[in-house]
Structure 1
């Protein structure tokens, strides 16, 4: 077992351990609300509160099982595509949470700790619970980001060997171009640009930060995929570019795959209490492009293999 593998295994156990406080908090909320000893979140009745938190308990359990599948022997017996897709999507969501959590906390502190509050969960939890929930998400995201490439390397070792210039080039370089365009638009919005926005005044600091983080991962994934597709510059380790390509494409697919149906729903229903800053048509096109680019990058990365020398 080399150093890369040891770090990945520790990260997987750490991810499962980090998510455990979130699971326990959610269980306590369900049990406490049924017994009448803990408050129900603002805007919920008891049935809705129990249903919401039961779903998140299931999601947390899946997340812990996924982290353990990346390190335990039984994880190698699960169909590889299933583990890879779930971990790819989960890490795509959570790697964006890591810098967002740090930056939003720093910005909230600079504003005097006003926070961004307001949701039902926030109304029901004291500060120490909020800190544990944030720790769970950050720890899970960081753990998956490190453990996933290690698992992939153990499962498909040939794909992670060699350096650029030793392998066949990845196909579909257009996906890197699409991802870069999406990332640049998001970066423009995060920097304060208003083209493509219908309600610029609706933006807030957390929105700027999250958009900027999405732009960062889109551009990182695009750059890594482009280098793999062009096989340049020669000599770079494949495993580094594959890891960055996996994380960047996962972020593109996961976040836009979640936001695209919500954007279409808002465009069709026009709810009075939902006023997104983006022009809905522009946002839908960007999210669709991000989903297609992310999925194409994944498909190509999975099929990317180094050239085996002739006998």
Structure 2
């Protein structure tokens, strides 16, 4: 198992290198992969700052891969790892779903329709999209597998606990603040799902797949967190483990919050238009609703997990 972890860490770190290399080249004035006439050539200070931010984000992926496998990582407080892993899962999750579908569509149709309304040839060379998004997909798979192994060892008892505990165990009661927060999150998630579903129908090619993926994650997040709440107050019992529902709630809420925030920053700063993303007042409002919905669902999920953790019987002391 340790050898497998070592291989996964090596793959994850290697997958970060192409993106980091390109970003460093661009930050230092290079134009590798940027065709003549690209909107990125006149990005200004805003685009430079966003490029620097994405370099820092990819460096965090490297640190997380190490933390999930090194002894010092097992001694870190759970909360210190949870937030960056939640963000990483949220940003990489849609790519891991959408990019393979886009690649398959490109192979079947004989060419991609582009990664934005402006088309990739006007923004970045086609090989850049392929190289970078392949790396992101490998990062998602590698980091996700390492995280699954980590939480199984550290919080396995919680993850294997039944979704609906039987009558012999103390059942955590859902509180009213969580129910109200969930209701607010649903109201915020509705325009998010509607806008992405509308764009999935109205757009073509890669954009259609991307928007359909976001709409899917919005539905998954709401259903999973709602299931967590119902399982706390329902009378029925179930032997189904907690981890599938919790995983869906974790990834779904993270995708809504993190991608909603990232798209909103791009729209408000104007940087999104330079990579072909069109945004108007309705889209900006949808991104804001998406971000708030994800944060609200994450808050409800966190409270539910804490209640369940406190309701678990104490682990036996080591002999």
TM-score by length of 1: 0.72
Q: Is the 8 A contact 2:192 2:218 kept in 1?
A: no
Cα 1:76–1:148 shift into 2, 3 Å:
same
How do 1:248-267 residues align onto structure 2 when only pairs under 5 Å count? Answer: 248-260=252-264
Q: Is the 8 A contact 1:169 1:229 kept in 2?
A: no
For the residues of structure 2 that align with 1:6 and 1:164, how far apart are their CA atoms? Answer: 33
Q: Does 1:58 align with 2:24?
A: no
Deviation at 1:122, TM superposition (A): 6.5
Partner of 2:132: 133
For the residues of structure 2 that align with 1:123 and 1:21, how far apart are their CA atoms? Answer: 21
Partner of 1:294: 298
Q: Is the 8 A contact 1:190 1:212 kept in 2?
A: yes
Deviation at 1:261, TM superposition (A): 5.7
Partner of 2:115: 116
Q: Is the 8 A contact 1:263 1:284 kept in 2?
A: no
Aligned length: 295
For the residues of structure 2 that align with 1:22 and 1:108, how far apart are their CA atoms? Answer: 22
Deviation at 1:17, TM superposition (A): 3.0
Deviation at 1:289, TM superposition (A): 3.1
Cα 1:260–1:237 shift into 2, 3 Å:
same
How do 1:182-221 residues align onto structure 2 when only pairs under 5 Å count? Answer: 182-183=188-189, 185-192=191-198, 205-221=205-221
Q: Is the 8 A contact 1:42 1:119 kept in 2?
A: no
Cα 1:130–1:215 shift into 2, 3 Å:
closer
- Secondary structure at the aligned position of 2:13 is classed as helix
Q: Does 1:142 align with 2:148?
A: no
Map Cα deviations across residues 217-236 of structure 1 (whole Å, 9 max, x no partner): 22223333333323366111
Q: Is the 8 A contact 1:91 1:247 kept in 2?
A: yes
Map Cα deviations across residues 122-168 of structure 1 (whole Å, 9 max, x no partner): 76754444322111111112233333343233333442232223363
TM-score by length of 2: 0.71
Where in structure 2 are there 5+ consecutive unaligned residues?
271-276
For the residues of structure 1 that align with 2:49 and 2:199, how far apart are their CA atoms? Answer: 40
Deviates more, 1:204-213 or 1:56-65: 204-213
